[in-house]
Every structure is written in C-alpha cells, then in structure tokens.
Structure 1
Amino acid sequence: MPEARRIDPRDRLIVALDLPTVAEAEAMVRRIGPAAGFYKIGLQLLFAGGIDLVRRLVGEGHQVFIDAKFLDIPETVRKAVESVARLDATFLTLHADPRTCRAAIEGRGDSALKLLFVTVLTSVGNADLQREGFSRGLADLVLDRVDMVLAAGGDGVVASGAEAAAIRARAGAGLTIVTPGIRPAGTDAQDQKRVATPAAAIAAGADYLVVGRPVTTASDPAAAAAAIVEEIRAAITG
C-alpha cells in the first residue's frame, strides 16, 4: 500500500473549528478529546486569535490544517508561506494558480509544511461557473487545476468527493486529496453543493476528510467524531 494510504483512520478526520472565538474552539477540542487529533483553523478563527491557537494545538501534539486559501502576487505568497512554515502546522491551503504554487514551494523551503491547492470550492456548482464566465465544466476545471498542481510540484489538492476518484486516477497515489463537504448519511447538506458521506469519499480515493458542523454542532461531538472515524475505518478495511 502506498505510504499516503497508510494513514491511521483517526488521523484522516480533520475537524473544522469554524467557530467565532478561540475560547469556543478550545472548549470544542476539550469536548472531542481523544476522538480526534487533527483540526482545521480557517479565516474566521485566524483573525480572532487563531495563530496563537495553532501554536497551542501543535504544542499539545495535535496536527493543524491552516485553511487560509492564499492567492496574491508571488512575492507576497512566498513571504506569507515562510511565516506559516514557522508555526509547524501540517497543511496550508492556497488557490490553484501556477505562480502561487511555485512561490509557495519556495517559501515553504525545507520545512515539513504540506501545501494543498483548492481546485473548486464545494459550495460551487456548474451553474455558478457558467455565471462566472467559465466555458469548461466543473469536472474538467478540477482536473485542469490538478494537472497544474502536479506540474508545479504541489503536495496535494482540496476537492470534493465527487471528483476524488477522477483525481486519484489522474494523479496516482503521490498526490494528497483532502475532501471537505463531508456529510454523514441523513444529515443536511446546508450550504454545500457537492457533498459525500465519509465512506464514499474514502472509497473514491480521498486521504483526509474535513468535517465541521456534523461534529461541532452535535450534542456529543466526541461521539460524532468517533462515528466518522469508524466509518472511515470500515471503508478502508472493507
């Protein structure tokens, strides 16, 4: 089995701390306890003290995914990634743009930070792309951006479960696929348009699953996280 596929099921679950304050995020981490150990910190929390939270979580032995989705002129991206690399986070997101990718790789240097490039947001559908003037369909656009990431030497992509199988077929085992828009069976898709269950996303080739509200709004977040981990485990072994 390729190294990328030997990840422990618990480590494949990334809980999105999409919460307004650090205090609420820290309380959620305590409620989840050992059921999960990998957390995503996005823009809302980053600008509410989230950088210090990254340091604390890493210091406690957790893995952290910084979901910043950088896109700017190359020199700004390079310097920003240099700063992020000093935080010892596991993942950082950027938009899938060739100059952004090259600048980020340079900024990362020899750190262990893995660079993930967003293909198409899971809240976007084909109709949205058409309104924005894209002539290619969503599936083709995702693969175009995957090809760009492969050519530039990026570590992985962020893509929905609907595209995971095509990406895995295109890229092989060497590209990390992180899939948001995960909804356990029977739960509301909410503002997401391209969703998948944990089992379906893993079966399609995703390495990591990002899950926010199905865990953080559950009456028992630890139990919700544990159930998703078990579904991941069953998808891998079954």
Structure 2
Amino acid sequence: MGGWRAVMANEYRSTIEQPSDRIIVALDKMTWHVASEVMGEVGPHVGMAKANSIAQRHGWEPAVRTIESLGAATMADTKFHDIPETVGLQVEEVASTGARLITVHASGGQEMLKYAVSGRDRAFNDQPEDRWDDLLGGILGITVLTSIDGETCTSIYGDEPEKKVVQFAHIALEAGIDGIVCSGKELRAIRAIGALDDLIAVVPGITPEWAKKPGDQKRVVTPTEAFQAGADFLVVGRAITQPPEGISRQEAAERIATELTEAA
C-alpha cells in the first residue's frame, strides 16, 4: 500500500510546475456568473478551483464541466459523511464527473473511507477514453475543520486539534485514501511522521498578512506558514475572490504565488 500511495502522491505533486499550481481558489458564496468572472481574472494564476455550495443546485456534472471550461480542474468539496455504502456510491457519482479531488470526513472511519476508494475506483474504470485521467477522484480525508477551535475540538472529539488531526491522518493512511485536508497549524506534526508523508496535504483557511481576517475560520495560516509546514496545495477563498480595496483578484493571486516562491 505504501509504495502505491507514494506513487500517487508523486503523481499529484508532479502537477505542480510553478507556485501558482499549488493554489486552489474557493468558489464559495457566489453565483456561476460571479464564478465565471473570478476564473476569468485568476484562472491562469491558480491550479484548481474548489466548489461546494455552488454545485448543489444543478449538480456536480455541470459544475465540473463548467470549471473545466473555465480552464481549471475541480476540487469537489463534498465532505461526505454517511454509512460506508452510501459514501461509496456518492463518491462514485462525483468521481464519474471528472472531479480531480473529492473530500470525505475522516471521522467517518476506516471502513467508510475504504468504500470511498472503491467508489472512486469504479468510476475510474468506467471513464470513457477521452476523459481518462490518472488523477481522477483523489480522495481527501477532512480532519478537523478550520472553523473549530481547540475548546470545541475537545468537546466534539475528546482531544486537542493536533492529536485528532494526526489520528485522522493515520486512519486515512490505513484506509488507502490519497490525502488529507487540515489546518497548517497541525501539518508540521503530520510531516514529522515519515509514513504520513505519502499523503498529499491540502490546507484551507489560507489568509495572507494583507488580507482581511475571516470571522468564520479559527485556525488560519499564511501562505508561507502553510508551505513551510509541508502543504502540497492551498485553498484560498476571500483573499482572492474578495481582496482588500485597491487589490484586484488577479493581483491577489499573483501576490500569493510570489509569496510561495519566496518561501521556497
């Protein structure tokens, strides 16, 4: 399992040819019209686009196709958490649309995550030749949401964020999924464990020093902090889609890419 996963991690990491390829812009709290405007401005300066609520009304197939038409691959932030068989079927449906990454909750347990992998594999095998992609449907395990602070984490999960994130990462590894989603604040603890390095790490809650601090995110980090902690990909929302006055969306994306270059 470890050798196979190391190959997959390297496959995803091989898509990173320049710092901007690490950036996943979050198309949250907007219509498709606004999303098209955003991608028109920042598309050449990001690697992927993350969709969540924007895909709910019309479904994942048109969402993924639309994002493809705007020049990006899709991170389907589905956050599935249900009984194992249901999650397997849900992942199969979303993976069949051509989504690059799909999220599920690692707290659903190892069996649920294994069903997610099986669902992705069924979709992979059924892909038509013209949409074949070795990176189809990478499964990411959500660890502890960045909206949860230490006290809340302890009340829900019985321990502090760092310990729970590491625990969920081990569950993800053992289940055979491709990576995790976690705050940059806990990522160093993940990267300190050699076996867990085969998991790709996607870090949300990215907030540059110059950006407005989000009120709904508790455990945020800067692009530099995320990169130096070992992030493969960074999810950036309002810092790009709603940048401070005087900074265009394109300039915001370029600033983050420059910061990643300087952090290397």
- Normalising by structure 1, we get a TM-score of 0.91
| Alignment counterpart, residue 190 of structure 1, candidates 207, 215, 231 | 215
AA aligned opposite 2:65: R
Does 81-90 or 29-38 show the bigger shift?
29-38
Q: Partner residue of 2:110?
A: 98
AA aligned opposite 2:173: L
Q: Partner residue of 2:241?
A: 216
Post-superposition offset of 1:49:
3.1
Post-superposition offset of 1:231:
1.1
Post-superposition offset of 1:60:
4.8
Moved over 6 A (4+): none
Q: Partner residue of 1:235?
A: 263
Show CA shifts across 1:50-107 (max 9, x none).
6213112224541110001001111111111111111111100000021220110010
Distance, in Å, in 2 between the alignment partners of 1:50 and 1:80 is 12
Post-superposition offset of 1:209:
0.3
- Normalising by structure 2, we get a TM-score of 0.83
CA contact (8 A) 1:35 1:223 kept: no
Post-superposition offset of 1:186:
3.7
| Alignment counterpart, residue 158 of structure 1, candidates 181, 185, 200 | 181
- Does 1:108 find its partner at 2:120? yes
Q: Partner residue of 1:177?
A: 201
Show CA shifts across 1:116-151 (max 9, x none).
00000001011112333x332221111111110111
**C-alpha RMSD of the superposition:** 1.8
Q: Partner residue of 1:69?
A: 79
CA contact (8 A) 2:113 2:172 kept: yes
Does 31-40 or 173-182 show the bigger shift?
31-40
Distance, in Å, in 2 between the alignment partners of 1:33 and 1:178 is 19
Distance, in Å, in 2 between the alignment partners of 1:149 and 1:174 is 11
- Does 1:49 find its partner at 2:58? yes
What SS does structure 1 have at the residue aligned with 2:192? helix
- Does 1:141 find its partner at 2:168? no
Post-superposition offset of 1:37:
3.6
Q: Partner residue of 2:152?
A: 128
Show CA shifts across 1:145-203 (max 9, x none).
11101111110000000011111122443110000011001431422111111011100
Distance, in Å, in 1 between the alignment partners of 2:148 and 2:39 is 29
Distance, in Å, in 2 between the alignment partners of 1:93 and 1:119 is 10
- Does 1:31 find its partner at 2:56? no
CA contact (8 A) 2:173 2:196 kept: no
- Does 1:204 find its partner at 2:229? yes
Does 156-165 or 166-175 show the bigger shift?
166-175
In percent, how many aligned pairs have the same letter?
Answer: 39
| 60 and 25 in structure 1: CA distance in 2 versus 1, 3 angstrom threshold | closer
| 50 and 10 in structure 1: CA distance in 2 versus 1, 3 angstrom threshold | farther
